[in-house]
Chain A
Amino acid sequence: MERRTGRWEVGLLAAVVTGGVGALAGNTTLVLAATVGLTFAAYGYATRPPSTNVSVERTLSTATADPGETVRVSLEVRNDGDEAVPDLRLLDAPPRDLSVVEGAPSLATSLEPGETETAEYALAATRGDHEFGDPVVATRSVDGGTERRWTVDTDHALTVTSVLDSFPPADATVDYTGRVPTDRGGPGVEFHSVREYHPEDPPNRVDWNRFARTGQLRTIDFREHRAARVLVLVDERGGAERVREAGEADTVELGREAAGQIVDALLSWNNLVGVARMDTHIEYLEPDVGDAQRHRLRELLDDDVATPEHADRLAVLSDGPQKYVERLNGRLSESTQVVFVSPLLDDDAPAVAAGLRAHGHPVTVVTPDVTTAETPGGTVARIRRARRVESVREGGTRVVDWPVDEPLYTAVERAKRGWSA
């Protein structure tokens, strides 16, 4: 699109006024001063239209980033023509929900033929898929009287997510082969113990070296790896729908994302995994294994309203935490452990964790931290939440305290060091 900016009409105006006043006053000097204005006006029409022969290329330091990571964007513009571009303005269109933390997504420059210039800036990555808009290029003639403006088609997106490779369940296991090390001996690879030989023992587990030395048959037991039965319980109660800052994911979204990552990690290690969404009622999907279960779990976590086909809807008749515990405990087998995803923003959440633990289910609490110390109220909420985290931890429950600016796997790794200590 080309347009005339009309910036030199002021020269014409000056010429008309000076000439007019000079003529009326009979003043030769003022009449001749119109020459100055006319020269400016003529300048506005004498220059050539600006070139549009420029190319723009955007480069991202990464197309996928972790939350909180700084993503560098480089926007290079090159004059591909044979003549200089005296005034070139380049405006990038970074995703609206990402803030520029360094540099500027625009520049104004002049370019000789073949010359390039680069606008560099950095974005603070926040969770989600972010589309870049098309950069706008505007070139102007040297006098600024004519402008050509167009957009450059680009196709850039930034995916900000984090992937959890593994999530160690607690020790409770079921009689399925999995990857949770147990204290029992049996088939496996890690040495556990040597016991008396039984006739039904497979030959490859007989300690033949000992037999050669002593003439006695002994059988080697290896540490058995079993699967765990895990229920990922997501706290979606009304009070849990908090957000740290406008535009960011709320605790329910964060909880579902954490649950999704945990489900994937647990399923990939052959565990039996189920999901329950805890709100005014409970959407419950029985733990199971396999890709079909992964699909069902995803469906349950992605669905906002209706109860998916394979899930059960458990009514909760009153609000008290004990009701949730009783309702869930009625569906959980003894060996089922619970990963409770909750922001811990009220006192009921720790009570649910403690209640499930009291019924013999090992509990791991994963708690996204959306509190902020920027306001007095936020500071109070932060202190209260920290106390709840501490009380849950003191009760013997494993806790993953997840600052949402960092990937979940970082928080899990940090928490694991505490569990093994």
Chain B
Amino acid sequence: MVGVTAAAERRVARTSAGATALVAVAVAVALGLGTGTVDAVLIATLGAGLVGVGAWAFADDDPRLAVGSVATAAGAVALGGGVVLGLGDAPLVSVAVAVALLVVAVDAGPGFSWSGTREINHSLKRSAGVTAVAFALALLAHQGAFVAVATVLSGVWIAAVTDSALGGLVALAVEVTAVVLGFGALLPVLRRWAPVRARDRVAALSTYRVTPTDVPPWVWAGVIGGAIFTQFAGVPAWFAGVLDQLAPVGPVLATALSSVALHLLPAAVLCLFALVGLVETGRRLVVAWLGASPPRAVAHAGGGLVVSAGVLLTLAIPPVGGAVATRTGFGADSALGVGAAALVVVLVAMAALWVTLAATLLFSDTDFVPENRAGFALGGAALFVATLAIGVTGATAPLVFVGVAGAVLVVDLGGYAAELDATVAAGSETRRAEVVHVGASLLVGAGAVCAALFAAYVLVPLAPRAAVGTGPEWAPLLALVLALFATAAFLRLLAVDAAESGE
């Protein structure tokens, strides 16, 4: 066989692959109509299509990583939304149809392969990371964590300052020490942030840099001792008495030490230092997260960024956020809470997408299906399961027959496409053979449905009914099973006979 190199060029039999996808969508829509979940099926179809587009973008010779990432993440959201929408009416059908559409879409595109799926995995991992961070921030904001932390810190600080003159003095000592040490610690950061021309001037400030080891021990002892003494009830009072005896300076000093105004400047500087420290920490985390190839990392994370921002911004629109919050029971003022919950759904959808793709890939490595047909085989099987599910729950005969025929057609047409891809070289002309096979298979499928309908609506009503009580109840069931077994054995015999004849 002729080797084919480029992954994106692997798909030669595009006519039959496209026909397979169309049949899968048609069957899915039919099942949706039958179960009253057509809106969910249509959304899932959109999601599967987006994932297929993403797979193409990743498999291209010149991969469009950002496009692939956004399409994959958006597809995951749509697929998850479709499943969630259909869970109430027909849970099994919703899941099976979503899985079928997904795997058929990927197989009708570039197909499943370890190398081809690697990019999708990277994208889902990066996007999920971004979404998880967005979820955490939204949840913390929703819970008021940022405000609570600020409130607690400022409350402790004000209490320490205003409690007593000694407390104010110790707080001032702590603030000054923290400012001096913080300046020393952040000086390298500030130098790195400064424009190139100003770096030398910033570096010159290192003359004033103080490290914890530079601080004399008696300062540490004084600060720590003062902090401890403030905890004893008598010491602050004794200190206040001492200041009172130093009138008129003492009382003024006591008032100044206990007032917030004296501490505002060092507190503001410390807040600024904390902000710088937070930003620098964030920068380092981002650099570590970006890894060796920042453009690739950002492109892979594009889906998570777009989806997270899209969800949060959409829910931030008052009418939309309010409506969703009210409908989901979060309350009209909980748009951030709804956003956090929505991001959890997005994360779950991404995880489910990853699991489905990985399972299909593993399935393709088994002996149950030829290596390059796993998606189509699994898609056909999922549609078949969905059809069985609605059949058991009493769906109409035409719907069941169409579902079974569609499932078989997905396996056949998809298998044909995959087989053709593996046989001929990239760029080969195959359309005419494909049209013949697809047309014949569709005709046979239509004929099969007609035959089943004929049996259901003509032969069964005409069949003579046995009188009730003329035989055992299990007799018809046994007869049916035996008939099926006989048919299967007959067909198997035909196959064995053909093989042994050496044809």
> Which residues from chain A sit less than 8 Å from chain B, CB to CB?
2, 4, 6-12, 14-23, 25-43, 45, 49, 86-89, 91, 100, 103-110, 119, 138, 142-144, 146
Instruction: Fill in one digit per residue for B360-402: 1 if any A CB lies within 8 Å of its CB, else 0.
Output: 0000000000000000000010001001100110111100110
A104 cross-chain contacts in B, Cβ below 8 A: 2, 424-429
Please indicate which of the listed interface residues A29, A88, A138, A142 has the most CB atoms of chain B within 10 Å of its own CB.
A29
Report B-chain residues with C-beta under 8 Å of the C-beta of A21.
388, 391-392
Question: What separation, in Å, do the CA atoms of A25 and B401 have in the docked complex?
Answer: 17
CA distance A36 to B404 in the complex (A): 7
Chain B contacts of A110 at CB under 8 A? 432-433, 436
Q: When the two chains form the complex, which single residue of B380, B429, B498 contacts A108, counting CB atoms closer than 8 Å?
A: B429
Interfacial chain A residues near B468, Cβ < 8 Å: none
B484–A40 contact, CB under 8 A?
Answer: no
B499 CB–A CB distance under 8 Å = yes
Which of A29, A36, A107 gathers most chain B CB within 10 Å?
A36
The answer to whether A23 and B481 touch (CB under 8 A), given A36-B401, A86-B437, is yes
How far, in angstroms, from A32 to B499 measured CA to CA in the complex? 30
> Is B359 an interface residue, CB under 8 A from the partner?
no
Given contacts A28-B460, A36-B404, contact A89 B424 (CB under 8 A): yes
A39 to B447, Cβ gap below 8 A?
yes
A-B contact pairs, 12 of them (CB 8 A): A7-B412, A18-B404, A26-B477, A28-B456, A29-B391, A30-B388, A37-B448, A39-B448, A86-B437, A89-B424, A100-B425, A108-B13
Given contacts A45-B495, A104-B2, 11 further A-B pairs with CB under 8 A are A10-B380, A12-B488, A21-B391, A27-B391, A34-B484, A35-B401, A39-B452, A42-B491, A105-B2, A143-B441, A144-B416
With a cutoff of 8 Å between Cβ atoms, the chain B residues found around residue A14 in the complex are 384, 404, 407-408
The proximity string for B residues 434-463 relative to A, scoring 1 for CB distances below 8 Å and 0 otherwise, is 101100110011011101100110001000
Q: Does B480 contact A (CB under 8 A)?
A: yes
Tell me if B412 and A36 are in contact (CB < 8 A). Answer: no
| Interface flag for B430 (CB, 8 Å) | yes
Minimum CB–CB distance for A21 against chain B, Å:
6
Q: Are A43 and B444 interface neighbours, CB within 8 A? A: yes
Q: Which residue on chain B has the smallest CB distance to residue A120? A: B429
Best-surrounded residue of A10, A33, A88, A106 (most CB of chain B within 10 A): A33
Q: Which of A6, A29, A42 contacts B400 (CB 8 A)?
A: A29
Q: CA–CA, A19 to B488, complex, Å?
A: 11
Taking a contact as CB atoms under 8 Å apart, the answer to whether B429 and A107 are in contact is yes
Name the B residues within 8 Å of A42 (CB-CB).
Answer: 491
Residues of chain B in range 182-216 having any CB-CB distance to chain A below 8 Å: none
Closest to B380 in A: A10
For the complex, what is the distance from the CA of A26 to the CA of B476, rounded to whole Å?
10
Out of A12, A33, A138, which one reaches B452, CB within 8 Å? A33
Q: How far, in whole Å, are A16 and B448 apart by their CA atoms in the complex?
A: 15
Q: Do A15 and B444 touch across chains, with their CB atoms under 8 A apart? A: no
Which 9 pairs between the two chains have the least Cβ-Cβ distance? A39-B448, A104-B427, A104-B428, A35-B452, A108-B430, A106-B424, A108-B433, A36-B448, A19-B484
Asked if residues A36 and B452 are in contact (CB atoms below 8 Å), the reply is: yes
Distance of A32 Cα from B380 Cα, bound (Å) = 19
B487 at the interface (CB under 8 A from A): yes
When chains A and B are docked, how far (Å) is the Cα of A240 from the Cα of B378? 57
Work out how many contacts link A and B, with CB atoms closer than 8 A. 184
Q: Please indicate the chain A residues that have their CB under 8 angstroms from the CB of B436 in the complex.
A: 86-87, 110, 142
- B62 CB-CB contact with A under 8 Å: no
B423–A30 CB distance below 8 A: no
Min C-beta distance of B381 to chain A, whole Å: 9
B420 within 8 A of A: yes
**How far does the alpha carbon of A43 sit from the alpha carbon of B491 in the complex, in Å?**
11
**Interface presence of B405 (CB below 8 A):** yes
Q: Is the CB of A91 within 8 A of B433?
A: no
Q: With a CB–CB cut-off of 8 A, which chain A residues contact B452?
A: 32-33, 35-36, 39
Report yes or no: A87 in contact with B433, Cβ–Cβ below 8 A. Answer: yes
Q: Is the CB of A35 within 8 A of B433?
A: no
Chain B residues within 8 Å of chain A by Cβ, number: 63
Inside 8 A of A10's CB, which chain B residues have their CB?
Answer: 380, 408, 411-412
In Å, the complex CA distance between A20 and B416 comes to 28
B1 at the interface (CB under 8 A from A): yes
B432 CB contacts on chain A under 8 angstroms:
108-110
Indicate if B494 sits at the interface (CB-CB under 8 A): yes
- Bound together, the chains give a CA A29 to CA B384 distance in angstroms of 14
CA gap between A106 and B12 in the complex, in Å: 11
Residue-wise, chain B 406-422 has the 8 Å CB interface mask toward A (1 for contact) of: 01100110011000100
Residues in A with CB closer than 8 Å to B488 are: 12, 15-16
Q: In the docked arrangement, what's the CA distance between A87 and B419, Å?
A: 13
Contact B391–A33 (Cβ < 8 Å): yes
CB pair A37–B433 under 8 Å, yes or no, is no
Q: Report Cα–Cα, A103/B407, bound state, in Å.
A: 35
CA distance A100 to B391 in the complex (A): 52
**Among A45, A88, A143, contact of B433 (Cβ-Cβ < 8 Å):** A88
The distance from the CB of A107 to the nearest CB of chain B, in whole angstroms, is 5
Question: Roughly how many angstroms separate A249 CA and B179 CA in the complex, as a whole number?
Answer: 72
Q: In the bound complex, do residue A142 and residue B437 qualify as a contact, i.e. CB atoms below 8 Å apart?
A: yes
Contact between chains at A30 and B391 (CB < 8 Å): yes
B448 interface neighbour in A40, A107, A146, Cβ under 8 Å: A40
CA distance A35 to B404 in the complex (A): 10
Known: A15-B484, A29-B456, A34-B484. A40 touches B408 (CB 8 A): yes
Q: How far is the CB of A123 from chain B (nearest CB, A)?
A: 13
**B388 in contact with A18 (CB, 8 Å):** yes
Separation of A11 and B452 alpha carbons in the complex (Å): 14
Point out the residues of chain B lying under 8 angstroms from A22, CB to CB. 391
Query: Would B491 and A32 count as touching, CB distance under 8 A?
Result: no
- A86-B440, A106-B428 given; A4·B498 CB < 8 A: yes
Docked Cα-Cα span, A4 to B500, in Å, equals 11
Does A35 contact B455, Cβ atoms closer than 8 Å? yes
- Tell whether A107 pairs with B430 under 8 Å between CB atoms, given A10-B380, A14-B404, A142-B440: yes
Interface string of B267-302 (1 = CB under 8 A from A): 000000000000000000000000000000000000
Question: Distance (Å) between the CB of B464 and the closest chain A CB?
Answer: 16
Query: Across the interface, which residues of B come within 8 angstroms of A40, CB to CB?
Result: 405, 408, 412, 444-445, 448
| Residues of chain A with a CB closer than 8 A to B384's CB | 14, 17
- Contact check, B397 vs A107: say whether CB atoms are below 8 A apart: no
Interface centre among B387, B407, B447, B495 (most CB of A within 10 A): B495
**Which residue on chain A has the smallest CB distance to residue B433?**
A108
Which B residues are in CB contact (< 8 Å) with A105? 2, 425
CA distance A104 to B415 in the complex (A): 22
Check A11–B401 contact: CB distance below 8 A: no
* Interchain CB contact (< 8 A) of B503 among A49, A86, A88, A109: A49
CA distance A41 to B499 in the complex (A): 16
Closest-by-CB residue of B relative to A19 is B484
- Residues on A with C-beta less than 8 A from B397 are 29, 32-33
> Which residues of chain A are near B481, meaning CB under 8 Å?
19-20, 23
How close is B3's CB to chain A, nearest CB, in angstroms?
Answer: 10
Given A4-B499, A21-B388, A39-B447, the answer on whether A108 and B428 have CB atoms closer than 8 Å is yes
Q: In whole Å, how far is A299's beta carbon from the nearest beta carbon of chain B?
A: 39
Instruction: For the complex, give the distance between the alpha carbons of A40 and B487 in Å.
Output: 13
Complex interface: chain B residues within 8 A of A18 (CB): 388, 391, 404
A31 touches B480 (CB 8 A): yes
CA distance A32 to B460 in the complex (A): 9
Other-chain residue from B388, B415, B449 in contact with A7 (beta carbon distance below 8 A): B415
Q: Please, how many angstroms separate the alpha-carbon atoms of A86 and B433 in the complex? A: 7
Q: How far is the CB of B472 from chain A (nearest CB, A)?
A: 15
Judge whether A32 and B456 touch: CB under 8 Å: yes
> Which residues from chain B contact A91 at a C-beta distance below 8 Å?
1-2, 423-425
Interface residues of B in 459-486 (CB under 8 A from A): 460, 477, 480-481, 484
